[in-house]
Amino acid sequence: MNGIRNFTATPVSATEVQLSWSWLFSPEFFNIYHGTKKDTPLVKVGEDWDPGNPLTYIVTVADSTLPNFFKVSSVGADGIEGFFSPVLMTGTAPSCSPISFYNLKANRSGNTTVQLEWVTNPTVGDFRIDWRVVGSSDWGPKGVVSQPGGTIFFFEVPYVDYTIPYEFRVMYTDPYGFEVNVSDTVTAPLFEMLSIEAAAISQSKLKVTATSNCPPANYSIFVATSANGIFSYVDILPSSVNGSTVEFILENLSPERTLWIKVEGMTAYGFYDQSNVVSAKTMTKASIQMTEFARSQGDNNVVLGKVNFNGLTEIRIYESSSSSSPYQTKIYDTTLQFDYGQIPIMWGTFDHPAYFTAVGTNLDGDQVVSGTVSV
């Protein structure tokens, strides 16, 4: 049984509201509370008010015609509030312009967060954000975007479990806390691996790039040696992670090796998703070959020849007067624009027996040496 009875609140002037109540049990005194917004904590405006029965109290307000909220509490000899009256409202909220919601979206923005985005016509009130598990009748935790201004709004919903589908709605409340309009309901997508690509970057390396709809806690990569083979976990860390995009480099592979690859992302809650399977093949083994080396028929001191190469980034050619010292003089050094092709060569003047050796650098940075030719 509540010890506070017959509680009323009546405007008596433009800036005053009279509270009146009676009490059943004799308290030491009363506290008086006031606020101007629905469903928000009221502020104590009077305390240690000596009891009378019935009791009245005048509260000064900014405008008694607008919404004002009141309650009183009884306080015992021990200083503890024992009974509270119901909250009463006086005044009327002015009509608000219609509020429309456009393009409400829910996107995964982190490992345990969802970002809501929406557009409305300009407002002066607050937005309340509700969310719940899909299928539940109870709209659970609530967030507030206060006095936003403008027309485009964002709200970060914390601690959302990827394993559970959540749905969200946005409620517009006027400056007095009254619900004016509510958006449609949107559902945030569960964690998902979106795409994967794999390509050779050398004779022994494959680069794998995968994307997800939000950054998970960690990524893993798996490979198989045939289209129907068993996938094995590869114990390597990503070479880079940029937001929701991850990159792996598979190394120490043999040339012309084909692998089937997939990437898995796992959230902080242990929920995971795997990408599709893609295949990629390392490049052909690097090679360099010297062909058609001969002295020119027009000038015996001029040497002509061709260098065929594959899978190289650089070529250097050395000339020597002795087969036992093939690297005496570097006569040609170039960085290649293409990793395969043929280079025609013409040199002079060699008035002595000459030995030529070509050295290339492959895409892994390793040296590839041709045989030595003599002219």
Residues 227-285: pLDDT tens digits? 999 999 999 999 999 988 999 999 999 888 999 999 999 877 677 889 999 999 998 88
In contact, 111 and 95? CB cutoff 8 Å: no
Q: 84 forms bridges with which residues in the sheet? A: 73
Domain 4-90: which topology?
A: Immunoglobulin-like (2.60.40)
pLDDT at 1 over 50: no
> What DSSP state is assigned to residue 100?
-
Distances (CA, A) of 71 to 85, 342, 357, 367: 6, 93, 98, 87
Distances (CA, A) of 210 to 74, 181, 256: 64, 41, 23
pLDDT at 53 over 70: no
Higher pLDDT, 217 or 204: 204
pLDDT at 335 over 80: yes
At 277, list the tokens.
Answer: 């399977």
Across 342-346, average pLDDT: 80
At 325, list the tokens.
Answer: 């010292």
Please give the pLDDT value at position 155: 78
Residue given tokens 């399977």 in the structure block: 277
User: Closest by alpha carbon to 104, among 161, 172, 177?
Assistant: 172
Q: Please report, as a single letter, which amino acid is at residue 294.
A: A
Could you tell me the pLDDT band of residue 65, with boundaries at 50, 70 and 90?
A: very high
| Nearest-angstrom CA–CA distance, 182 and 129 | 10
The CATH architecture annotation of domain 101-187 reads: Sandwich (2.60)
pLDDT at 169 over 60: yes
| % of the chain at pLDDT higher than 70 | 91
Q: How far is Cα of residue 62 from the mean position of the Cα atoms in its chain? A: 46
pLDDT at 117 over 70: yes
> What DSSP state is assigned to residue 9?
E
Please give the pLDDT value at position 219: 93
| Nearest-angstrom CA–CA distance, 252 and 248 | 13
Distances (CA, A) of 157 to 52, 133, 160, 183: 49, 13, 7, 16
Higher pLDDT, 6 or 163: 6
pLDDT at 8 over 50: yes
For 121-205, list the strands marked E by DSSP: 126-133, 142-145, 152-157, 166-173, 179-182, 186-187, 193-200
Q: Is the dihedral of CA 135, 139, 145, 148 positive or negative?
A: positive
In three-state secondary structure terms, 263 is: strand
Global confidence as pTM: 0.53
* Alpha helices, DSSP H, located in the chain: none
* Range picked from 23-27, 34-38, 370-374 for highest mean pLDDT: 34-38
The CATH architecture annotation of domain 287-374 reads: Sandwich (2.60)
| Nearest-angstrom CA–CA distance, 14 and 5 | 26
Residue given tokens 């293409």 in the structure block: 338
Please give the pLDDT value at position 48: 62
User: Closest by alpha carbon to 250, among 315, 304, 298, 205?
Assistant: 205
Average pLDDT, the chain: 84
Distances (CA, A) of 250 to 114, 153, 200, 261: 33, 43, 9, 10
Structural element, H or E, at residue 364: none
In contact, 332 and 288? CB cutoff 8 Å: no
Which residues, 6 or more positions from 228, have their beta carbon under 8 angstroms from its beta carbon?
Answer: none
Which residues in the chain are classed under CATH 2.60.40.10? 4-90, 101-187, 193-281, 287-374
Distances (CA, A) of 153 to 267, 287, 363: 27, 59, 49
Q: How far is Cα of residue 10 from the mean position of the Cα atoms in its chain? A: 53
Assign domain 193-281 one CATH number from 2.60.40.10, 3.40.50.720, 2.170.16.10, 3.90.226.10. 2.60.40.10
Please give the pLDDT value at position 183: 81
Q: 218 forms bridges with which residues in the sheet? A: 266
Could you tell me the pLDDT band of residue 341, with boundaries at 50, 70 and 90?
A: confident
Could you tell me the pLDDT band of residue 336, with boundaries at 50, 70 and 90?
A: confident
| % of the chain at pLDDT higher than 90 | 28
